Every structure is written in structure tokens, then in C-alpha cells.
């Protein structure tokens, strides 16, 4: 089969030999790394619309081995990857194998120089963020050079290179500089330990050849400034960025300048805390290929979502994807502990967490085919997403612990999924997660969730039972039932854990939808089949 190629064999052989190599290390050197593999044999399943891979290839196969070696001030790294063929939902441009990441880095005193592929983030990522997220098939590492200067009072970073694109690179050249200043280290009135103030500045420029035949700018620059003030338990953050004209596929070749404002504040002390976030985004997608309509490849910056991070299965049915062309949102969360020994706190106390998100469009008025005007910071009546969660965590006794709560979501399917005339989905989900611990590190865990809605696919029930025979071995069975349409999505399998190694084997039947990590999403088609997953680090 296509998967059983020499490259995959080499990858597995290297991983097996890693432990042997570790025993031969010298005292001043260190070998580390990680390995992951996800493979699925796909079965056709007409009941849920699941089909196999294009060309009837089977199984899908995503794998990667990262090796890092450090000796004194020198470090080198290499990652071999194979997507042959990539799993369903991953972009077909990934198909193939090769060395997707390689670098050499040298440090001397306060300086660090890296050549090759590197990951970097300036501030919140508004101006630049290169990172690796295998769940999405996202790797926009920069292939080039990076110079860092780090001291107690300041950090300065300068970069130049090109974005990774599958197993190649985008044509545009990226250059940038970032500086962070920690004023608490050299301003007298901040040295008390109760007050600290950090300031930062970023500038990133992209230079891209114009092959479209249209009158488009060849270069775009984005700049941002930020500050963070901490006073005892309080913190206040502010970041503002401005981007030049950058017509591209994702903004419909719009010629407006972009801007974004991120504001945060919060307070925390023992047993209590809250945070409030406000994010305003206007035409802030920053791309290394103006013709790419993918939100996975060719991204230079990162726009973090201003929404709650839901983790329970049915609460992830309608996830939010950041709208880089324009959104205005508020997010607030609060947590507190109910004291032990009270009627509500019980013997062990009770933890309560609540959060709320509201994200709308920005107020736009068209003034030309490719231009518009806005009222800065103004909210629109057009809601994109709203979410309200309440979660209670309580330990009943030494053996029994549970989490219970509910989540309300209002979801604009037209905007978030790009499905015209689909309207809003309003859902209410109740969930509970109960764990009962048995002797000899055994346990039984149960999840039960119910989602009710009158839109889209209707009502759902999800149930899961997981049993652990030891700290290493567990088994699970689950069913996600869309009972308005009489469709079951069931899964069962085993997980084996030892140290930093996880091996999972199971049968899965999964619904179609979006999978989102940090506001970046990819579409996952319905699938049925047998899946093997291996993760380890050393």
C-alpha cells in the first residue's frame, strides 16, 4: 500500500531507536523529541453520509517525528512528516511526505540566532504568529532567520523569511521586529513588587509579487503597540494594531486599511477571580498569499477568539470561528469557591465558574465596490455569536466527584459556516460529568449531555462511559444521538498510557461539522471507520 513507503519505515525506525540513543548521550548534550501518528481505515456509511477517501485510497495516514538535539549552546531540530494520504478534512495539498521542519540555533550571552524553520509570536499574535497545530493540519512556520536579544529589562526579536505552505513555501517575503520592555526592572516606583508595567511594539512587513494582473499593492505593513499593567491582584492590558491596504481572496479584494483593538482586565485572589475582554477587529486578516482562500495556510497573524472555550461534546457542535474581516465582541468570566463546611460548599467546598460572550458584526457602510466606512468600536445589530455557560464542580467524598452545568449558544450559521439562508441556531445544552474512583487506581467515569434546539439538526443526547482498570489502561463507549433524525454516532475503544506515551485504538462514527482550535477552524466531513492514534515524547 502507498502508506508503507520507505519514508514511513524510516520514521518508525528512528522513533524506536530514540530511547537507545538517549542512553548514549554525553553529559553536556541532550536528545529530545516527540512522535505522533493518526491513521483511520474508512468505511462507507450511507446512514450518516460518510464516504471514503478520494480515489478509494485507504487508510488515511498522518504522522510526524520531531527530533531535537542540544549540545552546549548549539541546538538542531528536524521533523519528518507524512500525509499519505491525509485524513479526511485535511487539505489535499498536504499529501506527500518530507522534512517539514528543520532548524539550527546558537545562543551566546543574551543573543540567540536561528536559521531554518522557527515559530514566533509578537504580542497576542495580532501582527505575527507562526505556530504548529496538527489537529488542523496547520503549520505556518517561517523559513528564514531569527535573531533574539533577551535580558532582564527587555526582549528584542527580528525575523525574515517565508511562510511554510504544505511542503513548500509561499513566495512573499516576511520581515518583522518586536520589542518588549519590562519597566518594573529599572523604574524606581515600580520596584516595590506590587506594581509592574510592560510595554511592547511590533512591526511586520510582507512583500509579495503581483501575478493577478490587477492594480494591487506589492507590500503591506502592520504595526501594533501594547501595554500590560499589574497592581497586586489586578491586571489591565491594551493592544492596538493598524494594517495597510491588502486586497486578498478572503476579504474580497477590499482596499480598506485594517485595525484591531484588544482590551483586557481582571482580578484574582484565592477563591475568586474575574476577567473581561473586548476585541474589535476590522479587516485584519494578514496573508502571505493573496490568492489563497484557505484559513489554514498562508496566515501571517493570529486573531484570538473572543468566545468561551467549550469542551464537552455537544457544546462543541456550534463552535465560533474568528471573523477577521470584522467583528466586535465582549467576553467575561468569573469563578468563585463556596467555602468548605457551609450548606452549599459541603465537606470539600464547591467551585462555580460562569462565562459570557457576545460577538457582533462591525458597523459597515459601503462607499465603493471595494471600500467601506465604519464607526470605530461601534457594535452592530447583526449578532454573530452569543454564549452563556455555568459550570459547577463538586467533590462529594473521597471517591465521588462531579461537574454539572449548562450552556446557551446563539450561532449565526450564515456567517460562521458560510451557508446562505441557514439563519440562526439557538441551542441549550445541559451536561454532567461524574467520576467514581475505585481501589488500585481504577475508576468509572460517565458523561451525560442533552442539547435542545428547534433549528438545524434538532435535538441531541450524548452519553459516555469510561472504565479504567489501572493508571495505564482504560476503555470507553459513547453514543451521540440526533434523536430528531434517528441517527446514532457511536464510538468505542481502548487507551493505553505509560509515562508520556498514549496509544488509542477504536471504532468511530463521527458527524460532519467544524473542528476549531483557538478560533481557527476546518470542516470535517462525516466518517466511519477504525482509528489508531499514537503519541509519545521523550
Q: What is the 3-state secondary structure (H, E, C) of 440-492?
A: CCEEEEEEEEEEECCCCCCCEEEEEEEEECCCCEEEEEEEEEECCCCEEEEEE
pLDDT at 193 exceeding the cut of 70? no
Burial 365-400 (b: 16+ CB within 10 A, else e): eeeeeeebebeeeebbeebbbbbbbebbbbbeeeee
Grid cell in block for residue 507: 471504532
What whole-number distance in Å separates Cα of residue 380 and Cα of residue 376?
11
Within-domain flag for 436: no
> What percentage of residues in the chain have a pLDDT greater than 90?
83
Residue 491 burial by Cβ neighbours in a 10 Å radius (0-12, 13-18, 19+)? middle
Residue 190: the pLDDT is 65
Residue 9: the pLDDT is 47
Within-domain flag for 19: yes
Grid cell in block for residue 386: 452569543
What whole-number distance in Å separates Cα of residue 267 and Cα of residue 233?
5
Give the HSE-up count for residue 437: Cα atoms under 13 Å, Cβ half-sphere.
12
Q: How confident is the model at residue 19 (pLDDT cuts 50, 70, 90)?
A: very low
3-class DSSP state of 431: strand
Within-domain flag for 7: yes
Q: How confident is the model at residue 12 (pLDDT cuts 50, 70, 90)?
A: very low
pLDDT at 295 exceeding the cut of 90? no
Within-domain flag for 6: yes
Domain that holds residue 62: 1-66+77-89
Q: How confident is the model at residue 189 (pLDDT cuts 50, 70, 90)?
A: low
Greater confidence, 164 or 4? 164
Residue 309: the pLDDT is 85
Task: Please count the residues of the chain.
Answer: 538
Within-domain flag for 154: no
Within-domain flag for 498: no
Burial 85-95 (b: 16+ CB within 10 A, else e): bbbbbbbebbb
List residues bridging with 139 in a β-sheet.
132
What global pTM score does this model have? 0.90
Within-domain flag for 437: no
Which residues contact residue 82 at a Cβ distance below 8 angstroms, ignoring those fewer than 6 apart? 3, 5, 7, 8, 11, 61, 62, 63, 64, 96, 97
The two beta strands, 168-169 and 513-517, are: unpaired
Q: Average pLDDT over the chain, rounded to whole?
A: 92
The count of domains in the chain is 1
Within-domain flag for 388: no
pLDDT at 27 exceeding the cut of 80? no
pLDDT at 254 exceeding the cut of 50? yes
Grid cell in block for residue 487: 441517527
Amino acid at each position: 500500500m502507498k502508506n508503507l513507503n520507505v519514508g514511513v519505515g524510516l520514521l518508525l525506525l528512528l522513533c524506536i531507536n530514540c530511547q537507545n540513543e538517549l542512553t548514549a548521550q554525553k553529559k553536556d548534550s541532550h536528545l529530545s523529541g516527540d512522535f505522533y501518528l493518526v491513521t483511520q481505515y474508512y468505511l462507507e456509511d450511507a446512514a450518516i453520509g460518510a464516504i471514503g477517501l478520494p480515489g478509494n485510497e485507504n487508510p488515511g495516514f498522518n504522522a510526524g517525528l520531531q527530533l531535537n538535539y542540544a549540545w552546549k549552546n548549539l541546538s538542531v531540530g528536524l521533523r519528518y512528516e507524512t500525509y499519505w494520504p491525509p485524513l479526511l478534512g485535511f487539505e489535499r495539498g498536504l499529501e506527500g511526505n518530507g522534512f517539514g521542519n528543520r532548524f539550527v540555533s546558537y545562543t551566546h550571552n543574551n543573543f540567540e540566532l536561528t536559521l531554518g524553520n522557527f515559530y514566533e509570536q509578537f504580542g497576542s499574535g495580532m501582527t505575527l504568529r507562526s505556530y504548529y497545530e496538527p489537529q488542523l493540519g496547520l503549520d505556518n512556520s517561517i523559513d528564514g532567520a531569527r535573531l533574539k536579544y533577551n535580558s532582564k529589562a527587555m526582549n528584542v526579536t527580528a525575523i525574515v523569511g517565508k511562510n511554510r505552505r504544505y511542503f513548500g513555501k509561499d513566495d512573499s517575503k516576511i520581515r518583522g521586529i518586536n520589542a518588549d520592555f519590562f519597566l518594573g526592572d529599572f523604574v524606581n516606583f515600580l520596584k516595590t513588587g506590587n506594581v509592574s508595567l510592560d510595554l511592547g511594539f511590533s512591526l511586520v512587513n510582507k512583500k509579495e509579487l503581483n501575478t493577478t494582473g490587477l492594480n494591487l499593492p506589492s507590500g503591506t505593513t502592520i504595526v501594533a503597540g501594547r501595554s500590560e499593567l499589574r497592581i497586586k491582584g489586578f491586571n489591565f492590558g491594551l493592544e492596538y494594531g493598524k494594517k495597510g491596504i491588502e486586497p486578498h481572496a478572503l476579504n474580497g479584494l477590499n482596499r480598506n486599511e485594517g485595525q484591531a483593538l484588544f482590551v483586557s482586565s481582571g482580578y484574582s485572589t484565592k477563591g475568586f477571580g474575574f476577567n473581561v475582554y473586548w476585541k474589535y477587529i476590522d479587516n485584519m486578516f494578514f496573508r502571505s498569499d493573496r490568492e489563497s482562500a484557505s484559513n489554514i495556510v498562508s496566515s501571517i497573524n493570529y486573531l484570538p477568539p473572543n468566545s468561551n472555550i467549550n469542551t464537552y461534546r455537544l457544546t462543541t457542535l456550534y463552535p465560533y470561528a474568528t471573523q477577521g474581516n470584522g467583528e466586535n465582541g465582549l467576553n467575561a468570566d468569573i469563578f468563585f469557591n463556596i467555602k468548605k463546611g457551609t450548606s452549599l460548599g459541603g465537606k470539600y467546598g464547591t467551585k462555580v465558574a460562569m462565562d459570557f460572550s457576545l460577538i457582533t458584526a462591525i458597523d459597515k457602510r459601503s462607499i465603493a465596490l471595494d471600500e467601506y466606512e465604519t464607526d470605530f468600536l461601534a457594535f452592530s445589530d447583526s449578532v454573530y455569536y452569543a454564549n452563556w455557560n455555568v459550570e459547577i464542580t463538586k467533590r462529594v467524598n473521597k471517591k465521588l466527584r462531579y461537574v454539572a452545568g449548562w450552556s446557551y449558544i446563539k450561532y449565526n450559521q450564515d456567517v460562521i459556516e458560510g451557508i446562505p439562508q441557514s439563519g440562526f441556531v439557538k441551542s441549550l445544552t445541559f451536561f454532567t460529568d461524574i467520576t467514581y474512583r475505585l481501589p488500585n487506581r481504577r475508576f468509572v467515569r460517565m458523561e451525560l449531555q442533552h442539547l435542545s434546539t428547534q433549528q438545524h439538526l434538532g435535538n441531541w443526547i450524548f452519553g459516555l462511559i469510561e472504565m479504567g482498570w489501572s493508571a495505564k489502561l482504560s476503555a470507553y463507549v459513547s453514543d451521540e444521538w440526533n434523536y430528531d433524525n434517528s441517527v446514532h454516532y457511536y464510538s468505542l475503544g481502548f487507551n493505553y498510557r505509560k509515562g508520556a506515551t498514549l496509544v488509542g485504538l477504536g471504532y468511530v462514527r463521527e458527524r460532519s461539522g467544524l473542528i476549531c482550535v483557538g478560533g481557527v477552524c476546518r470542516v470535517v466531513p462525516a466518517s466511519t471507520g477504525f482509528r489508531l492514534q499514537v503519541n509519545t515524547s521523550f
